[in-house]
Amino acid sequence: MRKLKIEVVHDPVCSWCPIGYSHIQTALRHLNMEADFHFLPYEINPDMRAEGEVIDAYFKHRHQWDNSRLVRYQKNLLTVAESANVSIDFSRRTHYYNSAKAHQLMHWAEGYGQQVSLNALLADAYLTRGLDISNPLILLELVEQLGLDISQAVNVLNANTINPQLLRKKQRVQALALPSIPAFIIDEGTIISGSNSVEYFEQVLTSLLEQQDDNRDIKNKPPQSQYS
């Protein structure tokens, strides 16, 4: 079974990120492939104030959407999310929040091989239960669920300076100039941007593997004699 390294450029407050993540996982299963997932930070709203912002107001002043357009958008989003087995509850999820601390914790969790699990807990906490994932107390509850060291997590969340490795991740993502998130970096080369459909991911992954196989065949092919 072929195993890929897939880096997911995401933000825990992004509605479409878990949908794309679910779609690419389904595509991998259909293709009988495995992946080692890692997560890279992208902050949609790095300047979001501490108390967050009501979603309705956010779309009104940032995108000039009226209520009817927002309702149509959310209805479509929920339809796609349900088909991807992603739970989003707008009766509880009423605000956007700053995600900087959540990204700090995701980076820290990678050192313990717990990024995938923490990502799932963040999605449940924010998208389904509507919790304020900028609140360190909420984040520490997730750390406790993972069974990781609370005191270490406190130090991570209270740090006055950004972790140099996390900063390099952010700079790497910024240099990509992505048109949208989620984005998926396959084997540190191919970039797939957007949540896409399962079928689209299958096509791209199949094409990528065929290309890799062709390159491998060329590389391993013995040189021919000029006299053959």
Answer yes or no: is 104 within a domain: yes
Asked if residue 212 has pLDDT above 70, the reply is yes
What CATH number corresponds to the domain at position 130?
3.40.30.10
Q: Are strands 95-96 and 190-193 parallel, antiparallel or unpaired?
A: unpaired
Asked if residue 73 has pLDDT above 70, the reply is yes
Q: Which residue has the higher pLDDT, 48 or 220?
A: 48
Answer yes or no: is 84 within a domain: yes
pLDDT digits (tens, 9 = 90+) for 140-198: 999 999 999 999 999 999 999 999 999 999 999 999 999 899 999 999 999 999 999 99
- Sheet of strand 190-193, all strands in order from the earlier edge strand to the far edge: 34-41, 3-10, 183-186, 190-193
Answer yes or no: is 226 within a domain: no
**In whole angstroms, what is the distance from residue 213 CA to residue 192 CA?**
20
Answer yes or no: is 227 within a domain: no
Q: Which residues pair with 40 in a beta bridge?
A: 9
Query: How deeply is 123 buried, as exposed, middle or buried, from its count of CB atoms within 10 A (0-12, 13-18, 19+)?
Result: buried
pLDDT digits (tens, 9 = 90+) for 109-126: 999 999 999 999 999 999
Task: Name the token pair of 101.
Answer: 């601390």
Confidence of residue 215 (pLDDT cuts 50, 70, 90): low
Answer yes or no: is 228 within a domain: no
Question: What pTM, to 2 d.p., does this model score?
Answer: 0.91
What would the DSSP string read from start to end of 9-75?
A: EE-TT-SHHHHHHHHHHHHHHHTT-EEEEEEEE--S-TT--TT-EEHHHHHHHHH---HHHHHHHHH
> Number of folded domains in the chain?
1
Q: Summarize the confidence of residues 28-46 as an average pLDDT.
A: 96
Answer yes or no: is 79 within a domain: yes
Answer yes or no: is 149 within a domain: yes
β strands within 67-144, DSSP E: 95-96
Answer yes or no: is 191 within a domain: yes
Range of the domain at 165: 3-220
